[in-house]
Structures are given as C-alpha cells and as structure tokens.
C-alpha cells in the first residue's frame, strides 16, 4: 500500500512537471513576454523602455529556457522557467501580472474557503439527489415512470446551465423575492446567498448524472448475484438498496470523483453569475483581464487538485470494495 502511494506521488509529480512545461510553453513561447507586456500595458504606442520596465518588475527579463551567458548550473537556473517552476512547486504563487498588489497565494487561500462553502454542500447534495433519482428510475425500470423519467433527464441535460441560472434568478429573486439576486456575506448569512446557486447547479447537472447512474445501476442489475438475491426471495427494495446500490457505488464514485477538483476550484459560471468571491470568479476576472500569472497558477493548482483527488478516489476504492487491491 505504501509502495503504491509512493509511486502514485512520483507519477503525480511527473505529471505536474509536464503541466508546468506545457503552460510555460503556452504562455512564454507561443507569445513572448514582450507581447504580454504590450497587451497588459495597453494603448497603441508602447515604448521598449516601458516593456523592459514591465518585464523587470515581474522578473521576466531573464532568458526563457536557457541562459547561454551564465556560468555552470546558472545556465539552467538563471531563467524565467526555473524561477517560475521552483516557486510554483513551493506553492509560492507570486503576484498578479496586471495588478501588482494582488498576492495570488493570499487570494487563493481566502477564496478557496468561499468556493468550498458553495461546492462542498453542492457535491454532497448532488450525489444524494442524483443517486436517489437513479435508484427510483431503476426500481421502476420498464414502466412509464422510468420512461418519462429518462425523457425528463434528456430534456434537462439538453438545457444549458446558463438558462437555469438566468431563469432561476428571475423566478426566485425577482418574481418571488425569496433570496437576493447575487452577492455574498461571510458567516451564517451566506446561506441566503448560496441556496439558489446550489439549487440551480444541482438541477443543471441532475439530468446527466441521474441518467448515467441509472445505466450503471441497470448494468449491475444484470449480474448473477442479483438473480441469486431475487431467487432467495429478497424483496426488490432489499435487492436494489442492499446489493445493487453497494456494487454500483464504485463506478458512481469514480464518475462523481471527477468533480472533486471543482469542489476546491469552484464553479466558474455559477460564482461569476452570483457574484460569489470564490476561485471560479477569480479565474474569470483573470481571463477577462488577461492576467496570465493568475491563469497559469490556476492551471497548475487545478492539475495538483486533480491528481490528489484521483489518488484519493483510488484509495477510497479499497475502503468501499475490499476486493480491490492496489498494486
């Protein structure tokens, strides 16, 4: 087990190095720091001095990949690549490109808490609601309830999440005036602001997930042990809840686990629509403001979270299913 975890970590680091190189290639080679400077300073006439100043302020004035003039190992270390990579792996994210005062690490820390407040309840409720709906459909399989349930799922997954948000805000906030349209307050007040985004996000993904989980449950129901369970006279509820659901949990957790990184990163669209100051909104602001340092950091952070959550899921398997041996 320890061996497995160690190898897992080593591979994760390898992937992170790759992600780092990839983003570095995208941000520094496809377009040089000069281009970024010109874009960030803005305006038609940008002098070379301005660009040089911009670059030296942010530490981009070194060679990018390889410094031929430096002695010894400094050939490698006296580069933008080395600087950026080392600070990223040390989780020191530095400052924003566009607004120097913004410390990315600090922002990430404070905003991740807000994102968690939105995404963690959502993740749990989402799993419960989708599995419950799927179990209902599987229980009534090949009846009208199942048929219309699947039709409803297909209809729901054909509607863009943006429509759910706009209609939901209009209905619940403007017409019924139950919750504020958007905004956020820390503490217990947050519930008022988070209830609607959670509900809408849940609805927008319910169709996709319930249909997927239904297929997984039905797949499991065609197996022999289910026939045995029925043959020994178990009630259908008992078969479904005690035998099928437990076994179907493995694929369900795999697919739900794919959302784990977003529990920390938050939802881009929902946070920005509801003006919730989480990481998702942070990213959108960075993208619209063309703040490359933040986007780069978030790509790295996202990959880190993805790798960590995947490892967690694999370890969770051994706990759910003793047959699984990690090696």
Partner 1 sequence: MIKPVILWTDAAIWLLMAGLALYFVGVRRQATQAATWGRVLRDPVGVAAGALMALFLLVTLADSLHYRAPMVDSPTGAVVYDTHTRSLLDALMAQQIAMRETSYSAPLAWQGFSREAVDGVGMLPGVAARREFPRLVFGGAQLVDPARGWAGDVLARGVAGLAFGALAGALLFALVASLIARTHGGWRAAARDLLADRTRHPLRALWLTLAAVCLLLGPVLAWMPHYHVLGTDRTGNDVLYQSLKSVRTAFVIGALSTLATLPFALGLGVLAGYFKGWVDDVIQYLYTLLASVPNVLLIAACVLMVQVFLDKNPQLFETAAERGDLKMFLLCAVLGITGWSGLCRLVRGETLKLRELDYVQAATAFGVSDWRIMRRHVVPNVMHLVLITAVLNFSDLILYEAVLTYVGVGVDPTTTSFGGMINLARVEMARDPIVWWSFAAAFGFMVAMVLGANLFADAVRDAFDPRARSQRPRVFRRKAA
Binding positions for partner 1, rule: CB under 8 A: 14-15, 18-19, 22-23, 26-27, 30-31, 35-36, 39, 141-144, 146-147, 149-150, 154-155, 157-163, 166, 169-170, 214-215, 218-219, 222, 261-262, 265, 268-269, 272-273, 283-284, 287-288, 290, 292, 295-296, 298-299, 302-303, 306-307, 310
Please, which residue, 67 or 283, has the CB nearer to partner 1? 283
Q: In three state form, how does the secondary structure of the chain look? A: CHHHHHHHHHHHHHHHHHHHHHHHHHHHHCCCHHHHHHHHHCCCCCCHHHHHHHHHHHCCCCCCCCCCCCCCCHHHHCCHHHHHHHHHHCCCCCECCCCCCCEHHHHHHHHHHHHHHHHHHHHHHHHHHHHHHHHHHHHCCCCHHHHHHHHHHHHHHCCCHHHHHHHHHHHHHHHCCCCCCCCCCCHHHHHHHHHHHHHHHHHHHHHHHHHHHHHHHHHHHCCHHHHHHHHCCCCHHHHHHHHHHHHHHHHHHHHHHCCHHHHHHCCHHHHHHCCCCCHHHHHHHHHHCCCHHHHHHHHHHHHHHHHHHHHHHHHHHHHHCCCCCCC
Please, which residue, 67 or 123, has the CB nearer to partner 1? 123
Report how far residue 26's alpha carbon sits from residue 161's, in angstroms, rounded to the nearest whole number.
Answer: 29
Contacts of 57 (CB under 8 A, 6+ apart): 100
CB of 151 to partner 1, least distance (A): 9
Please, which residue, 12 or 121, has the CB nearer to partner 1? 12
Please, which residue, 35 or 185, has the CB nearer to partner 1? 35
Please, which residue, 77 or 146, has the CB nearer to partner 1? 146
CB of 200 to partner 1, least distance (A): 14
CB of 295 to partner 1, least distance (A): 6
CB of 39 to partner 1, least distance (A): 6
CB of 93 to partner 1, least distance (A): 14
Please, which residue, 52 or 146, has the CB nearer to partner 1? 146
Please, which residue, 138 or 194, has the CB nearer to partner 1? 138
Report how far residue 316's alpha carbon sits from residue 7's, in angstroms, rounded to the nearest whole number.
Answer: 17
For 122, phi and psi rounded to 5 degrees? -60, -45
Please, which residue, 91 or 162, has the CB nearer to partner 1? 162
């Amino acid at each position: 087990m320890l061996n497995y975890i160690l190898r897992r970590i080593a591979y994760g680091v390898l992937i992170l190095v790759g992600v780092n190189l990839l983003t570095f290639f995208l941000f520094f080679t496809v377009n040089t720091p000069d281009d970024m400077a010109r874009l960030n300073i803005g305006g038609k006439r940008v002098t070379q001095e301005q660009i040089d100043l911009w670059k030296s302020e942010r530490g981009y004035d070194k060679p990018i990949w390889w410094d031929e003039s430096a002695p010894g190992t400094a050939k490698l270390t006296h580069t933008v690549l080395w600087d950026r990579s080392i600070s990223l792996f040390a989780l020191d994210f530095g400052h924003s490109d566009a607004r120097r005062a913004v410390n990315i690490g600090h922002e990430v820390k404070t905003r991740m808490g807000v994102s968690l407040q939105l995404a963690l309840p959502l993740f749990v409720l989402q799993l419960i609601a989708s599995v419950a709906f799927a179990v209902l459909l599987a229980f009534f399989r090949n009846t009208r309830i199942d048929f219309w349930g699947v039709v409803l799922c297909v209809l729901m997954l054909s509607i863009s999440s943006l429509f759910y948000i706009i209609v939901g805000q209009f209905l619940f906030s403007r017409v019924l005036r139950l919750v504020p349209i958007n905004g956020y307050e820390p503490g217990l007040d947050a519930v008022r602001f988070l209830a609607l985004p959670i509900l809408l996000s849940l609805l927008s993904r319910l169709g996709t997930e319930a249909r997927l989980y239904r297929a997984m449950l039905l797949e499991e129901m065609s197996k022999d042990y289910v026939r045995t369970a029925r043959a020994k006279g178990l009630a259908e509820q008992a078969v479904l809840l005690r035998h099928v659901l437990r076994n179907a949990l493995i694929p369900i957790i795999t697919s739900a686990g794919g959302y784990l990184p977003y529990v920390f990163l938050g939802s881009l669209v929902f946070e920005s629509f509801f003006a919730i100051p989480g990481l998702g909104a942070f990213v959108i602001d960075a993208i619209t403001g063309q703040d490359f340092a933040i986007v780069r950091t978030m790509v790295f952070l996202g990959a880190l979270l993805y790798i960590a959550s995947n490892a967690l899921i694999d370890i969770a398997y051994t706990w759910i299913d003793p047959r699984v041996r990690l090696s």
